[in-house]
Structure 1
């Protein structure tokens, strides 16, 4: 018998490094294998072949089975996953396995060991070669996914005539295509026709037999863009048309697997999806488009905390293909790259429909007589639009009925039982109101009396979308009001139905959160009213003004896309704030330059690089003590030169789900110096943690501090 070979396998476990397993023959990197890890059966991925294991040979287990139902993951995908693991300092197995569809990483889907006939996949093969009647359509299996693939819509839409600005922008972007690689910022005002340029670039790439990846920040943006893409780029399937695949987190396991297979096999040439689509293998990838590149939704907030935008740029550079970043309000990082010439800058300064940008006005609320949060000016404007038969949007980025419930007698306010956060009042038709925590999800009934003093006159403080909807229904009984927020769109298909109702003109007033602020083309919208914008002005995070400006610019851009005379009214106690003044002038460039100058003076990103260490434990003191020990350890390392170590502090919301949390910020003006310190520091942290009850995590380029 020949000597075994040793496979270095990546596993989805919170431990660094690879794990050695023995096998009789080499297995290519990128192949999935079934192994035993402790007492658990797990799916892992072969990363390398070793002649000698890194532990004693007699302690190395054998591979249970090699899963050859798919070809090995391609080299460029392995490079992407490897880079993500290194840059974000995350265990490799917790990068490569979660990037696969869930069905491809479940050990329960596979049985038996490797034999001369290959691995046994429960869904594909049965003893004696018999196939179950349902095998061809079993969800979550490779065989079932192939059988259920459908053909795209067949109609082709008519391309609109380009404006002069669009023609010039398209010509510049086409030079990027002909050059083969590079990054372009497509900076276009809302309604300028950025999507039309995406389509024309995609059409050119598809005609070359290449694939296109089109990323959008949120799930609710995919349906309308999917229809546009199908109408324009997907002719009759019999004519050999390229296929379209959709990928986002709300897909069923079977649908996600089918999309992943079609794209990775090259059967679908255009992939439209949210951030998770970035990690899909694409053998002929020729173009990446990141729409609304500034959006915070591109940053994953748990597990591997990666930026899909940043990894898209790396992937484009690695493959030598162009990447187009589109936005009306680019992130300051992207804007700086464009201004310094690292990215090609392409501008669309006017709307494609020749309609002017809406008139943005500030409504000073300091001396106004408010009615349920509405000024007389905003109520009169809503009444006027109703008379004219135009739609209005009331934007408030707070869901629920009211932020807190308060007792006027003793000052008690509703508090989560598990978090240091207030609970939000939520009302549902036909059911009693509840108090819900937006951090841990805990729900409790609204008390009939104050728990502290017994007063039954409990009052809601502030307002959310539900309370705004209720007031508008009372004030404008003739109006058809539609609310779109996370609560109203929980059920599958509900978001699409609500947006279709608005697009069909079956709503007079739309009440919404950030879900409605970007990407949607509401043809009949003549007025946008903004409530409670001031809450973001004085947030602790230095990015708060940038996010507020982008959010308000985006939501203002929903108005007047098909008719002149649109108006945006922003209610504020601080009309002189620079954010609002730049907003009224539609002056992104001026706002960006002033913000960058301020950040440069303070040494903040993008003029520095940051990493955030977080710790959580049953007691806050334990989390803080751990981070203080980490800080001392880091300061003692030679790699700490050039890196600033801040004090360990509690998080803004200290306790979530009965776990208390703290953070330690590391910062350097030189990115390599920061990563050298992290490479030296992180392997020491488990020993410093001591207790299994204490958990720590690392986030590179944090977006919320």
Structure 2
């Protein structure tokens, strides 16, 4: 008997092995084995078994050494799911399979318990008409049929409560539910609520920073098909569900749902569409600010939209919204109006949240008089100042690659004196501490959340308890406001949010503003302050009236007119090399692959930091629905020259 085995290595191929007679009964597609790979025994996975030899006759085949699993850990959708991920996002098959099934031999499926205790505690309060309508609609779907729906409505309209009640229905019927949240901070906040309702033994929290012992326990339980509610970040979509009846994506528009840092790459929305269809499950997307891709799917009748219009009792306030300058007499980062509002909140002992989403690595170049940023004359994005040995001191556009000199004229006030601006949340904390030395300040960003002892977790708790006077954070903080006691929120730099190289910048900015507005509508005397040098750069009228769908419609029209997703497909190729001529030669070679397969090839755009050893730039291929899978396959299978590495990302979200 012969079998083909793949390994967790960046080689997109399988390897032929002989199966010893004593192992023949145990070897099957989907089981893990150990086999000689090079000079060592390595863990691999069997992808096919055959009585017929397919390897060349003159090739000496090695034998499988041992079989790790008694049966496949994943369900019957393992290989269809792998093919789907390979086709839509690229990546070697072995790396995809071992993201779905852990390569470590100690990850094994234990025996399922003889009995399972289920006790669901549903809160006793009257539902709104929108909540009852959503429950009736979903409950009327025939069992074991795929139905994707969107719960769309402002904050505090009961979307999450409706999802939890549907999860209770599934758990009562001994099914499995997956509820995803954008990040670990949100998962940790949400888990206590789920455990109180469904029981701690029936709720599993899954994310990248879990204890290994819990990962093994939960993986085994899910693989055994035990009834459960899984609260997870995006990685939960890769778990081996056997009886998935409901999948729900909370805050669907959040860009954390795209995995682009590590292989395999995928977007949770598309991945769950495939998995829910394979399982015949209901798929619920719930968001106050759904992505324009999701709204396009609603327009195309691929997803059923269920509106949520009535606010739950006690959360129907209208927050005050004011747009101010970016600097004042007392501070070069805070307007005088914002300083006065912070002082007022301190007197009332209420919590304030300041948001500065310091993105990328480059230093922005801004007008000393009014604070406006120098912008690219070609595409209008913010220019970044870079000083490199190869190119000297210059301004670079991270969106289109255009370069300009340091001699700039302010488009707002025609001032000629500019200065570089760096720093982020840490700089703001220092500035605010000078203005309010007695205030308790906390910082909430990815740096402060790296360890349990970090200030970030204290800040997360302070959002709910009100134990801090002022919290300074990135956009991450705006997504952790569920149940928070914040009454004043301020976005410190509108231009920094809007004018990056990401074509989704205005959509993300709008989602953040509407998210803040939604939270503040749940508290009395809620105030939102937006600091902007150019108050006409973004249409704030939908925000003032609370019309997110109107803002999204405008965004869709802009995307269509400029041929960006969801009307086209994008593929980003990042090229890295130590030698500049080699980098440019390889970039030109890859660019030629797009001929006849792409509508347009943008770039190259330089994206290396000053401290990077390797020089980096990327190309952006814009193509249509008919040709994008072919183009992705060509780029994914391309072998670069020696000393050059490339990274291919379909539907990219990272442009920095």
Query: Taking structure 1 as the reference length, what is the TM-score of the superposition?
Result: 0.79
Q: Does residue 653 in structure 1 map to residue 608 in structure 2?
A: yes
Corresponding residue number in structure 1 for 2:195: 230
Partner residue, 1:679: 633
> Does 1:520 find its partner at 2:471?
no
Match of 1:471 among 423, 426, 431: 431
Which of 138, 163, 181 matches 2:146? 181
- Secondary structure of the corresponding residue to residue 305 of structure 2: strand
SS of residue in 2 equivalent to 1:272: strand
Which whole-Å CA distance do the structure 2 matches of 1:212 and 1:147 have between them?
18
1:210 equivalenced with 2:204 (yes/no): no
Pairing of 1:147-166 with structure 2 (within 5 A)? 156=121, 158-166=123-131
Identify the residue that residue 342 of structure 2 maps to in structure 1. Answer: 382
Change (3 A) 1:498 1:633: closer
Q: Which residue of 1 aligns with 2:165?
A: 200
Gaps of 5+ in 1: 110-139, 238-242, 423-458
Change (3 A) 1:211 1:303: same
Count the aligned residue pairs: 605
Corresponding position of 1:565: 525
Paired residues of 1:153 and 1:231 also in contact (CA < 8 A): no
Task: Show the counterpart of 2:646.
Answer: 696
User: Retained in 2: the 8 A contact 1:537–1:544?
Assistant: yes
- 1:463, CA displacement in angstroms? 4.6
The answer to whether the 8 A contact 2:144-2:280 is kept is no
Aligned mates of 2:306, 2:339 — CA distance in 1: 40
Q: Partners of 2:301 and 2:273 in 1: how far apart? A: 15
Residue 13 of structure 1 is matched in structure 2 by 9
Contact 2:425–2:473 at 8 Å: present in 1 too? Answer: yes
Separation in 1, partners of 2:386, 2:641: 32
- 1:176–1:626: structure 2 CA closer, same or farther, 3 Å change rule? farther
Are 1:21 and 1:63, in contact at CA under 8 Å, matched by a contact in 2? yes
Shift of 1:354: 4.1
**Pairing 1:516-665 to 2, within 5 Å after superposition:** 516-561=477-522, 563-635=523-595, 640=596, 643-653=598-608, 657-665=612-620
Find the residue that maps to 1:21 and give its secondary structure. Answer: strand
> Residues 575 and 634 of structure 1: is their aligned pair in 2 closer, same or farther, counting only changes over 3 Å?
closer
Aligned partner of residue 483 in structure 1, secondary structure: strand
CA drift at 1:154? 8.2
Whole-angstrom CA distance in 1 between matches of 2:226 and 2:144 = 26
Deviation at 1:656, TM superposition (A): 6.6
CA distance in 2, matches of 1:250, 1:42: 26
Matching residue of 1:86: 87
Alpha-carbon separation, structure 2, partners of 1:379 and 1:251: 40
**Structure 2: unaligned runs, 5 residues or longer:** 369-383, 394-418
- In structure 2, relative to structure 1, the CA distance for the partners of 1:160 and 1:515 (3 Å cut) is farther
Superposed CA deviations along residues 191-214 of structure 1, whole A, max 9, x for unmatched, are 222210110110111122210011
TM-superposed CA distance for 1:526, in Å, is: 1.4
Residues 39 and 421 (structure 1 numbering): CA distance in 2 closer, same or farther, change over 3 Å?
Answer: farther
- The alpha-carbon deviation at position 704 of structure 1 amounts to 3.1
CA contact (8 A) 1:419 1:656 kept: no
Distance in 2 between residues matched to 1:142 and 1:366, nearest whole Å: 56
For 2:378, the equivalent position in structure 1 comes to none
Distance 1:587 1:142 in 2: 50
Alignment correspondent of 1:73: 74
Partner Cα separation in structure 2 for residue 421 and residue 161 of structure 1: 66
Cα gap change, 1:23 to 1:502, in 2 (>3 Å):
same
Moved more, 548-557 or 537-546: 548-557
- The residue that corresponds to 1:290 in the other structure is 249
| Partner deviation per Cα, 1:184-239 (whole Å, 9 max, x = no partner) | 1111212222210110110111122210011111000112211111111228x6xx
Pair 1:266-2:225 in alignment: yes
CA contact 2:175–2:226 (8 Å) conserved in 1: no
Give yes or no for contact 1:378–1:569 (8 Å, CA) kept in 2.
Answer: yes
Asked whether the 8 Å contact 1:360–1:570 carries over to 2, the reply is: no
Q: Is the 8 A contact 1:528 1:569 kept in 2?
A: yes
Residues of 2 paired with 1:421 and 1:211: CA distance? 58
**Residues 653-662 or 477-486, more deviating:** 653-662
Report if the CA contact (8 A) 2:154-2:288 is conserved: yes
Distance, in Å, in 2 between the alignment partners of 1:417 and 1:77 is: 48
CA distance in 2, matches of 1:564, 1:386: 16
Give 1:268 shift: 5.1
The reply on whether 1:331 has 2:285 as its aligned counterpart is no
Separation in 1, partners of 2:389, 2:176 = 48
Would you say the 8 A contact 1:624–1:648 is kept in 2?
A: no
User: Aligned equivalents of 1:420 and 1:173: distance in 2?
Assistant: 59
Pairwise CA distance, 1:94: 1.1
Stretches (4+) displaced over 6 A: 145-148, 151-155, 399-406, 413-422
Match of 1:667 among 612, 616, 622: 622
The structure 1 residue matched to 2:323, chosen from 363, 384, 402, is 363
The residue matched to 1:510 in structure 2 has which SS?
Answer: strand
